[in-house]
């Protein structure tokens, strides 16, 4: 167990819908990262937050957004969902400059 928690574990929804994925970092970690893992794309960095502020952005679609709250948990919002958004979504956390530890992931299925 890495200490990073993610909810829900599984999510099944229809195209066009909106979902929110939640992540709680390890105690003491200020940085949260979101990654998308699909079969043909591997692990892709989406976005990073540090202590409530956006710090780095990767290949995140405009339909996706994220935020980090004062208690340091983070939410990833995915809207206008398409079939191609089906993937495993991982969050990871780290101390200011350190190793990243991954949560168990949320498996999103868009039908």
Choose which of 17, 18, 56, 77 interacts with another protein (CB under 8 A): 56
- 94 lies in the binding site for another protein (CB under 8 A): yes
Choose which of 55, 69, 84, 109 interacts with another protein (CB under 8 A): 55
Q: How far apart are CA 32 and CA 29, in angstroms?
A: 8
- 73 lies in the binding site for another protein (CB under 8 A): no
Six-digit token string for 84: 């191609």
**Beta-carbon-side half-sphere exposure of residue 72 (alpha carbons within 13 Å):** 19
- 31 lies in the binding site for another protein (CB under 8 A): yes
Task: Rank residues 39 and 83 by Cβ distance to another protein and give the closer one.
Answer: 39
Cβ pair 34, 91 in contact under 8 A: yes
């Amino acid at each position: 167990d890495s200490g990073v928690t993610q909810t829900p574990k599984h999510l099944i929804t229809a195209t066009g819908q909106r979902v929110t994925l939640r992540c709680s970092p390890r105690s003491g970690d200020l940085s949260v990262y979101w990654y998308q893992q699909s079969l043909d794309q591997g692990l892709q960095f989406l976005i990073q937050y540090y202590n409530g502020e956006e710090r780095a952005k990767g290949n995140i679609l405009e339909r996706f957004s994220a935020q980090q709250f004062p208690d340091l948990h983070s939410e990833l919002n995915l809207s206008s969902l398409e079939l191609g958004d089906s993937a495993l979504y991982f969050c990871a956390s780290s101390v200011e400059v350190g190793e990243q530890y991954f949560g168990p992931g949320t498996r999103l299925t868009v039908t």
